[in-house]
Amino acid sequence: MKSSWFVYMVQCSDQSLYTGITTDLDQRVQRHNAGLGARYTRSRLPVELVYTETAADRSAALRRESQIKSMPANAKRGLINE
């Protein structure tokens, strides 16, 4: 069974944004909020899922994650508000 890949953004308690990839959005957000996610989010809890998009495979998800991470904050917020 082929799993779907997602690119996601969470908003941290300090209003900053973190972008990542996963195959299980609910579990990943739970791990972030349990302090088991990315080092960046551990000191900025809780986080809230604010954006997702699907990707064809892991490689496509990684490419899109890199694109989003290179965007300025206002462009990331534009994605969220679309």
Q: Give residue limits of the domains in the chain.
A: 5-81
pTM of the model: 0.92
Q: For position 37, what pLDDT does the model report?
A: 87
Q: For position 1, what pLDDT does the model report?
A: 52
What's the DSSP call for residue 16? -
Q: For position 12, what pLDDT does the model report?
A: 97
Please give the chain's pLDDT, 82 residues, in tens: 567 999 999 999 999 999 999 999 999 999 999 999 899 999 999 999 999 999 999 999 999 999 999 999 999 999 999 8
How far apart (Å, rounded) are the C-alpha atoms in residues 14 and 26? Answer: 21
Closest CA to 25 of 41, 43, 37, 12: 37
- Superfamily of structural domain 5-81: GIY-YIG endonuclease (3.40.1440.10)
